[in-house]
Amino acid sequence: MLDFSNSSSSLDPPRLELLLKMKFSLQQEGKKKWLENRELKYEKFFPVEFMNDKDFVLNHIKKYSYGLQHASTQLKKDREFVLKVIQQQADEFRFASRSICNDKELIFAALKQFLGIWGYTSFELKTDKKFVLEMIREIVLAAVKQNGEALCCVDHKFKSDEEIVLEAIKQNKKALGYVRKDLLLDREFMLRAVKTIFPEFSDLDSFDFSQKDIMMKLVQENGWLLEYASDELKNDREIVLNAVKNHNHSLRYASENLKNDKEIALMAVKHNGFALQYVSDELKRDKEVVLTALRQAPSLEYASDELKNDKEVVLTAVRQCGTLLKHAGEMLQRDQEIILEAIKQTSDSLEYVPPDLLGDKQFLLQVVKYAYDGIIDYLPIEISNDKEFVSEAIKLNSLAIVATQREDPELVMEALKCNGFVLEYSDELYRARMQQCYHGAYLGNTTTHH
- Domain assignment present for residue 73? The answer is no
Domain that holds residue 385: 370-450
Q: Which of 163, 180, 205 is the last residue of a domain?
A: 205
- Domain assignment present for residue 268? The answer is no
Q: Are 17 and 34 in contact (CB under 8 A)?
A: no
* Confidence (pLDDT) at 10: 60
Q: Structural domain tally of the chain?
A: 3
Amino acid 227 reads E
* Confidence (pLDDT) at 408: 65
Predicted TM-score of the model (pTM): 0.65
- Domain assignment present for residue 253? The answer is no
What sign does the dihedral 322-327-333-336 (CA atoms) show?
Answer: negative
Q: Are 35 and 54 in contact (CB under 8 A)?
A: no
- Domain assignment present for residue 363? The answer is no
Q: Which of 184, 205, 226 is the last residue of a domain?
A: 205
- Domain assignment present for residue 358? The answer is no
Q: Which of 182, 205, 228 is the last residue of a domain?
A: 205
Angle at 427 between CA 422 and CA 431, to 5 degrees: 85
- Domain assignment present for residue 450? The answer is yes
pLDDT digits (tens, 9 = 90+) for 41-60: 999 999 898 999 999 999 99
Q: Which of 413, 353, 406, 417 is nearest to 384 (CA)?
A: 406
Amino acid 442 reads Y
Residue 49: count of CB within 10 angstroms of its CB:
11
According to DSSP, residue 439 is labeled T
- Domain assignment present for residue 214? The answer is no
Polymer length in residues for the chain: 450
Please give the radius of gyration of the chain, using alpha carbons only, rounded to the nearest integer. 39
Give the residue ranges of the chain where pLDDT is below 50.
Answer: 403-405, 447-450
- Domain assignment present for residue 195? The answer is yes
